[in-house]
Structure 1
Amino acid sequence: MPDNHKVKIIQDKYDSLSPYLNEKTRRIWAAIEAQSLGWGGVTAVAIATGLSRTTIHSGIDLLSKLDEVKTEDESTRIRTVGGGRKLLEEKDAMLLSDLESLLEPMTLGDPESPIKWTNKSVVKLAAALKEGGHSISPKSVYNLLESLGYSLQSNRKTRDGSSHEDRDDQFLYISNQVKYFQSHNEPVISVDTKKKELIGNFKNPGTEWCDSEQPVEVRMHDFVDPNAGKAIPYGIYDLTLNKGWVNVGIDHDTAEFAVESIRHWWYSMGNLLYPKSEHIMITADSGGSNSYRSRLWKLKLQEFATEIGKSIHVCHFPPGTSKWNKIEHRLFCHITTNWRGRPLTSLQVVINLIGNTTTTQGLVVEARLDENLYQTGIKVTDKELDNIAIERNSFHGEWNYIIKPQISG
């Protein structure tokens, strides 16, 4: 049995040195201490430091090889090439994709921010992954979430009232519908109007690289220039193919403008990508020009469905959740990033900047200028509404419905 006094001395040394040691120097120091004690030294050092005898013996072997010729890189390497455990995602190719699929329907947070968060605990996520055949601990799930850009966030009081009781169920319904249409190679698009932009030499938030002595000078006040006007970008984003289409209007953001934008997308992009499609699925927020309450939105969709001979399936996100629509964080946020710090001095500048927006994930965007004028305050009569060939879903038919093409008599 090692002398307790010696063990205490070694332990005190180790406690003082440990913060400054890495794996290699720790093994070498333990080996030197063990050899200095002679017989029983390995046991004494193991008891004092908590290191295994195998680790100490590996240090002794390392000391015996110090006189051998090594390259600088090899002599300072802590582990041999390829040493250490493989990352879980390297050993399990489907792990990350399965984790993200668990998060996708319930992902929370502002999608235009690089930070995302989820309301599922790491324990529940680990259990779900295990059911899917993966071997993973809650701690490893936590590490993977951090690497994917998720973080834990607390609640913040910013709103009055409460969200709709079926909000989460509607999210899941939309997610299932999207997967169904994608599996049948039918187009699934996310639509919305981006924030209106003033045209002119106005300050645009953000920064870009330029000559430090010649920053771009802009106007002091953001008053609308009556001669330049404004840009109203209405976006259509293909969830399957990662392609965007933006119709830049100059007049009013109306339901007619929204459907006209979808029409331009279909004839310029959608029809070419999905020549055999029989349906189009649209995800939209619950307000604005594509509001689920808008009669004109449905009437214009009816005209469009009849024109192209295809059924149009519409799913609206519940009130107060428009930021969860995919177009926000897969298209609009990248457009905003692309023109940050750059004044939108003309409509052509807007078109060029939108059309040149790309991402490392392969996003492709096309943009066009829509110079049409759209009348506001158009009323749709009860008779016109009754003539729309609309089929409402049993689950929240006000949010989920199909508009079918009408067959002329």
Structure 2
Amino acid sequence: MLTLTDSTANWLKKTANHLKGSIRRIFMAEVVQELGFGGATAAEEKLEWNRGTIRKGKNELENGAIEDKFSDRGRKKSEELMPCLLDDIKKIAEPDCQTDPSFNTCRLYTRLTSGEVWKRLLKLDSYNEDTIPCERTINTKLDDLGYNPKKVQKTKPKKKIKETDDIFNQVHIINEKTDSNPKEIRISIDAKARMNIGNFSRGGRNRILTEAEDHDLGVKEKMTPFGFFLPEYDDFYLFFTPGYASSDFIVDRLEEIWPVIQDKYGVEALTINADNGMENSSSRTQFIKRLVELADKFNITIKLAYYPPYHSKYNPVERVWGVYENHICGDIMDTVETTIKFAESMTYNGKEPFVKLTEQVYQTGVTVCKESMEKYNKFVERMPSLEKWFLTISPGYSR
């Protein structure tokens, strides 16, 4: 028979508080049994134990422990009730999001409101007005996925031409078709601004006290980063060159990595997302000429899908540049070796990039005369009314 002295009562209360679930209830029932007749009343008065809990513990002593399924209690999350919800929201929001134009953060901003996402979800066969989550829930899920459905002044484009919406719609259609075809792959390309190599301040913060020069005077060496990003697989190929990223440089690097991509994913066609920059523009004759030769060499079809003017931050590779810029933020790129090592140490969605230094300096401003371009243009098909932004290059130039 157990006697409840003050010291014993304190010890039993502390012990019970350290136990959880069925183990705690069974312990309480065993103590009440040891107390004998009136034990439940004594436990309730002196130990402050609940009668119902004690009764449940006695039942577990006789019939075995009850499994506590805390995860089954309460209201389930929307994604648990609808397993495809988050993937569907991603498919809707992803094409309409852009990175932070200043690269100060890795945030993504979307042009869509939560109400618009709700309307587009309702058009899918998996949802109806009785089962679809409310607009507030959709807004919460957008935030959880890293999208920011809010108006931010710095994300507002400087201009908007009349073809902007049509270009965006066509880019989304082409990208969706490419991503759904296992024999096609999409590559997003772009160059970053030339980097000054030396003891120059890049802004940002560092945990280590760092001294740098405020003004970029006497710059002796510069590097141009150029990236090839595969949005569906998060693969990133990063090249550095001491010169400019000319048309020949871009196609040579693409020619270098294409056999690797083709062997890895077994693809037969390529879609390129770009921003119609100076060296990769659809009107750059040398760039188009080299792509026609590339398509013929590997017997592949190449599609060019450009983003609208003043909307280059919607290009998927810009998200990787945002991560890269935040990775080196506050550090000094004083040598080429330091710059390469920092690039190799970054990750994007858990994947490390392929990084290479190309020491060859390419000539810029190379053009092809109109007469010579005629034989190349035979293999280039431009989309009517949007000729500058959508091209399809077919193989067969050398045949």
Range into which the TM-score falls when normalised by the shorter chain: 0.7 to 0.9
Query: Which of the residues 146, 166, 173 maps onto 1:176?
Result: 173
1:306–1:119 distance in 2 versus 1, CA, 3 Å: closer
In structure 1, how many angstroms separate the alpha carbons of the residues matched to 2:257 and 2:203?
Answer: 29
In structure 1, how many angstroms separate the alpha carbons of the residues matched to 2:210 and 2:373?
Answer: 52
2:63 corresponding residue in structure 1:
none
**Structure 1 residue identity aligned to 2:359:** E
Query: Which of the residues 319, 322, 331 maps onto 2:312?
Result: 322
The answer (yes or no) to whether the contact 2:187–2:273 under 8 Å persists in 1 is yes
In structure 2, how many angstroms separate the alpha carbons of the residues matched to 1:355 and 1:120?
Answer: 34
Gap runs ≥5 in structure 1: 1-61, 72-79
SS in 1 for 2:353: strand
Query: Which of the residues 261, 264, 267 maps onto 1:273?
Result: 264
1:345 corresponding residue in structure 2:
334
**Structure 1 residue identity aligned to 2:238:** V
Query: Which of the residues 161, 165, 186 maps onto 2:162?
Result: 165
State yes or no: 1:382 paired with 2:370.
yes
State yes or no: 1:237 paired with 2:229.
yes
Q: How far 1:160 moved relative to its partner?
A: 9.2
For these two proteins, the number of residue pairs brought into alignment is 330
Q: How far 1:107 moved relative to its partner?
A: 2.7
In structure 2, how many angstroms separate the alpha carbons of the residues matched to 1:138 and 1:381?
Answer: 56
1:152–1:316 distance in 2 versus 1, CA, 3 Å: closer
SS in 2 for 1:204: coil
2:347 corresponding residue in structure 1:
358
The answer (yes or no) to whether the contact 1:351–1:367 under 8 Å persists in 2 is yes
Report which stretch shifted further, 167-176 or 145-154: 145-154
1:153–1:370 distance in 2 versus 1, CA, 3 Å: same
The answer (yes or no) to whether the contact 1:105–1:172 under 8 Å persists in 2 is no
In structure 1, how many angstroms separate the alpha carbons of the residues matched to 2:114 and 2:171?
Answer: 24
In structure 2, how many angstroms separate the alpha carbons of the residues matched to 1:343 and 1:160?
Answer: 31
Q: How far 1:322 moved relative to its partner?
A: 0.9
1:224–1:333 distance in 2 versus 1, CA, 3 Å: farther
**Structure 2 residue identity aligned to 1:68:** N
In structure 2, how many angstroms separate the alpha carbons of the residues matched to 1:394 and 1:66?
Answer: 81
CA RMSD of aligned residues (A): 3.0
Q: Deviations over 1:144-176 (max 9, x none)?
A: 223333445347499897412232232232222
Q: How far 1:353 moved relative to its partner?
A: 1.7
In structure 2, how many angstroms separate the alpha carbons of the residues matched to 1:397 and 1:336?
Answer: 34
Higher relative contact order (CA 8 A, sep 6+): 2
SS in 2 for 1:289: coil
SS in 1 for 2:373: helix
2:273 corresponding residue in structure 1:
283
The answer (yes or no) to whether the contact 1:114–1:149 under 8 Å persists in 2 is no
**Structure 2 residue identity aligned to 1:377:** G
**Structure 2 residue identity aligned to 1:197:** M
Q: How far 1:338 moved relative to its partner?
A: 1.9
Give runs of aligned pairs for residues 21-40 of structure 1, distance below 5 A.
none
Q: How far 1:317 moved relative to its partner?
A: 0.9
In structure 2, how many angstroms separate the alpha carbons of the residues matched to 1:343 and 1:337?
Answer: 13
Q: TM-score, normalised by structure 1?
A: 0.72
In structure 1, how many angstroms separate the alpha carbons of the residues matched to 2:123 and 2:177?
Answer: 23
**Structure 1 residue identity aligned to 2:143:** E
